[in-house]
Amino acid sequence: MFGASVWGSTPMFVELFEDGLGDAIILDITTAQIMSDRGTGHIVVEYAEVGGLGPNSVYYCRTDRFEELEERLVKFATGLDAAMATVKATPVTELQPLLAEHWPNIAMPTLSAACTRIQQSQTWDTVRIDGDASDRWMRILREEGMVRSAPAFADLVTSRVVDAAELTTVG
């Protein structure tokens, strides 16, 4: 089994898998949809369906810069939350020009199918990091020997930014 990151060595892992050097591969949904569409793989399990929430797109900030950046972080989280809500509520057919602009080398049926899968998952429901999901992810990393210790969610995350962003959105 291979694991692939959308930003790292995904193309290499996909090539190895498609050349027969693996029985399974873990991918982001868009890459998985591409492989499914070209008949070189099948989406067997979607983590968002069977694994529950995951700590998707977690953004980090050095603690010594938090105070300095907090206002900008709140604006960022507010904008991200609004964008996620808009994309989740917009029919895929209306999103196609945006998808084509940002991913011009991926076929529209593939982009549309991947976008629909994401819209139907809980991936874009909130910018708030789920504490239980984060702790579960860290436990998996520790159990698989990928990290020596796994800090608890409460030791890693402050909710001040998303709390303020939610107040900005509501207020």
For every one of its 171 residues, what pLDDT tens digit does the chain have, with 9 covering 90 and above?
Answer: 444 444 468 899 999 999 999 889 888 889 999 999 999 999 998 877 777 776 666 778 888 999 999 999 999 999 998 988 998 999 999 999 999 999 999 999 999 999 999 888 877 788 888 888 888 888 988 998 888 888 898 988 888 998 998 877 655
Region of 27 (left: φ > 0; alpha: ψ -120 to 50; beta: rest) is: beta
The answer to whether the pTM exceeds 0.75 is no
The answer to whether residue 57 is domain-embedded is no
Domain count of the fold of the chain: 2
The answer to whether residue 52 is domain-embedded is no
Q: Per this entry, what is the length of the chain? A: 171
Ramachandran angles phi, psi of 146, nearest 5° = -85, -20
The answer to whether residue 16 is domain-embedded is yes
